[in-house]
Chain A
């Protein structure tokens, strides 16, 4: 075996923007373009390719990954994580530079790709196995294991279209998990199935990681990355900015999140791709309504979150997600879920306010992801719009634990003891 599993040098991938709606234009547009181009050439003009139309999804990436390393890729949306996995799994070709991959590669970019609804579970196992690069003999050898892992033995000869979504996801993951590649590329696939199956899947991934395979892992769940990976690579705008032990990379990522939250939100480019952009999130602030503190709230006291927007639209709604430092969601506050205490106030101006009467969070640092709607459309969405600290306090007459508490939430409760 070679002493390097994956080596990339100045790897880059660019996409052309704005050529006929995501480059999926009609023949006519293309013919017109070609005609224009040749006319231009006849007239002696050079064909212009303005650099502004080219987006580098990945650029100048040089990495060396040794066999047996488990590497986590971390970064914002659009930082180039998925592009890198797509290049390494040969789905897309790099625009510049190269990557050497030594060993059989298996990619889990999406669970269940290639499942055919008309085929039975049994037939789909063979088809899906082949799609993932398994030999027929290999699938036959591991067939029983796959069926057992997926817990679908009774429905083996039923067409997959009659499966519940949970069943097909379990089957798909089971096939993928029994792949035995030397290099495994995984993109955010652990978030499938119910909680029990997720635990099982995570256990399987752990097994794979400990079996000495090379694994490259993409996930937004930093806790999972921390548990599975030794090394972390932080990508930012297509470039590797940190390549270090995973905890350092995660810390770096959290710092970039804080920096992004601290800067002008209107300058951010990592916005929700579905958004209409008629109104943007301009500023988000958390304050302790009783103590007048900003970005710091005392547990058990009233917290006020203010979202400033650029434009007031009809039917404005807002959804805030509070996450802990490892990127794990703690709570969602959604104005679309109405309560009688909610109010619309035309004198409020371009701002949305949310009040939490008695903040039930453990002391620590938290972040907020925000999404606003107007005219029944998503208008803007941003991750990490704001960070805030929760100070120890009193929740429902009980002081928050000083240390040793697990979890993020304080529940008002009472005891009866003998």
Chain B
């Protein structure tokens, strides 16, 4: 049993959110919270985990009809359905994490007000729980890719890196938004709207090749640009590797992560006072 002394006092420096010792000490709780989010997510739903794939597939059908057929949006020479599904798998994860993650602290207000634990577990738990859905939809995506007669190339090995970039961006943004939400419930109303806008700013329904350079590379400041184009390249094995986009997006995701966590760290100590 540890008998170390913890000094509780007003903290003015950063370093609460990323104290590795604290996170390690509460690792069981992190696991339990993620497990709870997974178990609860589809309990008492008729279709269960099928929802993980129904969402992106539904969007794929709608996009294929309206953008692919009616509007005739280019899909870089790929079947439009595949072209959009590869992007939607990543996007659905990101959008869901944003939606649930930004509410995570407020939804668990009683816990935050009554129990001590590293608060970052709440948004981070949403990210972790979502990974199961992401896994399921990736499996389905690859099945459809094979049905279309495409064979993934070695580029598929980049997939974990792309997922990491997406996780970094998602954690940064949800940590920041969930913390703001504790004080200003305005976040609740902004999020659904912001997610829609973000979807249009991301080449999910259209290829980023529609944008002229240098604006195309610059647009990758939106980290989902690099992730989505990277997902297409890695899962469909088509076209040239979008290294420039991935590079810019990775850098931007890192900035978001640091900024989000720094803000979270700064306001974490007052959560219980405001929630």
Show the binding face of A for B, using Cβ within 8 Å: 1-2, 15, 23-27, 30, 86-104, 107, 109-110, 113-114, 116, 118-119, 123, 126-127, 130-136, 159, 182
Contact = CB atoms under 8 A, between A and B. Distances in A.
Interface string B16-44: 00000000001011011101100110011
Rank and list the top 5 A-B pairs by shortest CB-CB distance, nearest first: A90-B116, A98-B9, A130-B32, A130-B29, A27-B184
Contacts of B31: 130, 136
Contact of A102 (B4, B32, B114): B4
B43 A131 contact: no
B32 A131 contact: yes
A415 B108 CA distance: 59
B115 interface: yes
Contacts of B2: 103-104
Contacts of B36: 116, 119, 123, 127
A87 B274 CA distance: 15
A234 B266 CA distance: 34
Given A107-B115, A116-B36, A127-B36, A90 B8 contact: yes
20 contacts: A23-B273, A25-B184, A26-B185, A27-B186, A86-B272, A98-B8, A101-B5, A101-B8, A107-B116, A109-B114, A110-B114, A113-B110, A113-B115, A127-B33, A130-B28, A130-B32, A130-B33, A136-B28, A136-B31, A182-B3
Nearest to A127: B32
Contacts of A123: 36, 39
A131 B117 contact: yes
Contacts of A99: 7-9
B8 A94 contact: yes
B5 A102 contact: yes
B75 to A, nearest CB: 40
A30 to B, nearest CB: 7
A131 B4 CA distance: 20
Nearest to B26: A133
Given A92-B272, A109-B114, A182 B1 contact: yes
Nearest to B25: A133
A116 B31 CA distance: 15
A126 B32 contact: yes
A114 B11 CA distance: 27
B6 A15 contact: no
Nearest to A124: B36
Contacts of A30: 183-184
Contacts of B8: 87-88, 90, 93-94, 98-101
Nearest to B2: A104
Contacts of B35: 127
A109 to B, nearest CB: 5
A119 B111 contact: no
Nearest to A187: B114
Nearest to A139: B28
Nearest to B11: A93
Contacts of B9: 93-94, 97-99
Given A27-B186, A114-B115, A93 B270 contact: yes
Nearest to A99: B8
Given A1-B3, A119-B40, A131-B111, A96 B10 contact: yes
Given A30-B184, A99-B8, A119-B36, A91 B114 contact: yes
Contacts of B186: 26-27
B113 interface: yes
Given A23-B274, A119-B36, A136-B28, A131 B115 contact: yes
Given A93-B11, A94-B8, A182-B1, A26 B32 contact: no
Contacts of A116: 36, 40
Nearest to B117: A131
Interface centre among A2, A27, A114 (most CB of B within 10 A): A114
B32 A91 contact: no
A131 B186 CA distance: 29
